[in-house]
Amino acid sequence: MRQQDKKDVHSVTPEVVIEFLKKTLPFNELDDEILERIAAECTVDFFPKGTTIFRQDETEVEYLYIIQKGGVKIYLKDEDGLITLKDFRGEGSYIGALPIIQGTRANLNVETVEDTFCFLMKKEIFLNLIQSNPRFAQYYLKSFSEKFLRTAYAELRQHRVAPRTEGTLYLFSVQVGDLIKRKLQTIPASATLQSAAAKMAEHHIGSLLVTDEEGEIVGIVTDKDLRTKVVAQGRSITEPVANIMVSPVEKIDAHKVCFDALLVMMSKKIHHLAVERQGRIVGVITSHDIMVLQGSSPLYLFREIVSQRKIEGLYSLSQKVPLIVRTLIEEGAKPNNITRMITILNDHILDRLLTLMQENLGPPPVPFCWLLMGSEGRKEQTFRTDQDNALMYQDPKGESQRRQAEEYFRTFGQEAIEHLVKCGYPRCPGDIMASNPKWCQPYSVWQNYFDDWILRPEPKQVLHATIFFDFRPGYGELNMGYQLREHLNKMTQRQEIFLLHLAKDCLESKPPLTFFKNFIVEKDGEHKNRLDIKTRGLVPFVDFARLMSLKYGIKETNTLGRLELLYEGEHISKELYIETVEAYEFQMQLRFVHQLQMMEAGKQPDNYIDPRELSDLEKQTLKEAFAVIGRLQAIIRDVFPMI
């Protein structure tokens, strides 16, 4: 005992463990005092590369292993000896928590993929921490991925976007059903217009739902209908409501959030939505109801855009689009919602612009379709994306019409691009714009372009594919665009060689981790030591979704939409679908926040993220996200075994 005392006089708490744990989730949540106590109990073990630390169903787990340096892979082996890779864990990660908590043997195999040093914490100490520290326990007990993402999102919002206003979460938390303020008011279709107006006045409401003889709701009549169809057109007030009602009624499920209602209203250019609960219409909400919830809203901007009568007026309005993003991020919008909102607003600007241009230039000699490419085509625009567009017109009949069309659309394309530049959409560096004669062509030429890319794939063709194959009709004769998509889908599914080229391209990008130690960052130049989150992180997801969609004939262009359809079509597993969506959305969010910060600092937004500025949790989540890229590539190898 005396000896013991004497020895203790000369021993100190090992700083190395304390320092490490302070930077490691969830130990950083612990008090210094507790941290010091557990640090004193930690030991260090070393496992050379290739050592199996846990053997599934065999190893009794006596310690929590916290990786100080190095990395491990975690895999499952089934009865047939088939190995499924589950995860990679690097510095600051732990292994063994689950078996300790569950009191079971190792549930997975763990093997070091690098020379690895671990801190070992006795399982009793770990269990004790879990029992005595609720916050610590929460970290482990909640489902791994869910917990990570939630906290990471919250952290992004709270710490990285300085609050400017008291963030109201209404738009994303209030359900449409909760907005219904009054009883549903209906009127029979046979009732007179006058009685409808009277009823609206009596109840101080702006709309009525119209019912048929059976009492089924068949349409809606609004005060705008009374103004534009009755008073303006001089209709008799004795006519039945049926003559002016809008049918069928646009409906939305009561469980949807206000944001979704807003999107429907904006994309359909309407102000009233019937709210449906379990297949029954229970009320009507208006854009005004949402506006009241929302101090300043995207809807306001939207209204300004659609009512704009001068092209020049659009210039300043389009500059306001990025401003709404802050509100949306503050309100907790998922990145896909933000991009959808930006897309809708940009689409309306384009719609107004091209409509007003036609008023100036006169109607086109043949119908045309404005094509949006790249991120615009995928509805994934962020703050300022380069223009990627093209123009396709109906095949002219005869030489004179051909020349007339060529001339009209050349002028049209060039002017449109000029206006778009003034609206703040930078030119495409690759000149993929409707002002380029090559990309302003009749339908048959476009069809030939695509056939050529698909039938004679060369590296450059594959590169083209990434931009052109995400096209979406943006304005004009949309059916022409859909027809082209239809044609192209039939072609690609048969052309294995073309798909193989795309697949090969997908496999070339390496996940941006040099195995845990660091992220792959740019080695020199302006963006030294920064991570290009677009090229390294997001593009592999986009490429994967495109390749698989072309392979399985999916017409959707939005990456998340594509993934959803791939999952519904059972081309990817539910597990992978969820992982992929989470990984993709998290990176999008990170990019948004980064770009927002740059814009607010008065800089031109870019995609270069400094890993040093990320918190541990963000880094960890990002690493998890990157790990998904490897899994996507494995799927590609599976689907295209001949690469």
Partner 1 sequence: MLLIDKVARLWRKEHPVIQENHAYFSNFDQNKTLKEYDFIVFDTELTGLNSRKDEIVSIGAVRIKGLRIMLSQNFYVFVKPSGELPKDSTLIHRITPEQIKNAPSLEAVLEDFVRFCNGSLIVGHYIDLDMAFINKATRKLLGGTIANPCIDTLRLAQVFREEQWGNYYDQFNYNISFNLSDLAKEYNLPQMDQHDALQDAIQTAYLFLFLVRKLNRGGIKTLKDLYMAGRSWRWLF
When the beta carbons of 90 and 322 are compared against partner 1, the nearer one is 90
When the beta carbons of 13 and 573 are compared against partner 1, the nearer one is 13
Smallest distance from partner 1 to CB 617, Å: 22
Q: Given the rule CB under 8 A, which of 41-49, 204-212, 467-475, 492-500 is the region that contacts partner 1?
A: 41-49
When the beta carbons of 41 and 575 are compared against partner 1, the nearer one is 41
Q: Given the rule CB under 8 A, which of 112-120, 231-239, 384-392, 583-591 is the region that contacts partner 1?
A: 112-120
> What letters, b where the CB count within 10 A reaches 16 and e where it falls short, cover 530-567?
bbbbbebbbbbbbbbbbbbbbbbebebbbbbbbbbbbb
Does 323 sit near partner 1 (CB under 8 A)?
no
Q: Which single residue is written with the structure tokens 């994306």?
A: 385
Give the one residue of 21, 30, 42, 590 binding partner 1; rule: CB under 8 A.
Answer: 42
The token pair at 287 is 């854009």
Q: Which whole-number Å values give the CA distances from 361 to 118, 308, 358, 390, 411, in the listed order?
A: 72, 18, 5, 19, 9
Three-class DSSP category at 235: coil
When the beta carbons of 120 and 180 are compared against partner 1, the nearer one is 120
**Contact by Cβ (8 Å): 161, 81:** no
Does 41 sit near partner 1 (CB under 8 A)?
yes
Give the one residue of 52, 55, 56, 69 binding partner 1; rule: CB under 8 A.
Answer: 69
Does 48 sit near partner 1 (CB under 8 A)?
yes
**Contact by Cβ (8 Å): 319, 299:** no
Smallest distance from partner 1 to CB 132, Å: 20
What residues pair up with 608 in beta bridges, in sequence order?
532
Does 518 sit near partner 1 (CB under 8 A)?
no
When the beta carbons of 7 and 309 are compared against partner 1, the nearer one is 7
Give the one residue of 24, 68, 297, 436 binding partner 1; rule: CB under 8 A.
Answer: 68
> What letters, b where the CB count within 10 A reaches 16 and e where it falls short, cover 26-54?
bbeebeeebbbebbeebeeeebeeeeebb
**Contact by Cβ (8 Å): 499, 461:** no
When the beta carbons of 65 and 519 are compared against partner 1, the nearer one is 65
Q: Given the rule CB under 8 A, which of 3-11, 208-216, 274-282, 574-582 is the region that contacts partner 1?
A: 3-11
Does 128 sit near partner 1 (CB under 8 A)?
no
* One-character DSSP codes across 246-262: BSSPPEEETTSBHHHHH
190 sits in the region (left: phi over 0; alpha: psi -120 to 50; else beta) called alpha
Q: Which whole-number Å values give the CA distances from 555 to 391, 487, 504, 548, in the listed order?
A: 19, 11, 22, 11
Smallest distance from partner 1 to CB 35, Å: 13
Does 46 sit near partner 1 (CB under 8 A)?
yes
Query: Residues binding partner 1: what is the number (CB under 8 A)?
Result: 27
Does 122 sit near partner 1 (CB under 8 A)?
no
CA–CA separation, 381 vs 348, rounded Å? 14
Smallest distance from partner 1 to CB 516, Å: 11
**Contact by Cβ (8 Å): 294, 303:** no
Does 125 sit near partner 1 (CB under 8 A)?
no
When the beta carbons of 89 and 334 are compared against partner 1, the nearer one is 89
When the beta carbons of 13 and 604 are compared against partner 1, the nearer one is 13
Give the one residue of 55, 77, 117, 291 binding partner 1; rule: CB under 8 A.
Answer: 117
Give me the sign of the Cα torsion angle 372, 377, 382, 385: negative
Burial class (CB in 10 A: 0-12, 13-18, 19+), 80: exposed
Does 39 sit near partner 1 (CB under 8 A)?
yes
When the beta carbons of 48 and 569 are compared against partner 1, the nearer one is 48
Site string for partner 1, 6-35 (x = CB under 8 A): xx-xxxxxx-xx------------------
Based on C-alpha coordinates, what's the Rg of the chain?
Answer: 30
Choose among 497, 502, 540: nearest CA to 520.
540
Site of interaction with partner 1 (CB under 8 A): 3, 6-7, 9-14, 16-17, 39-48, 68-69, 114-115, 117, 120
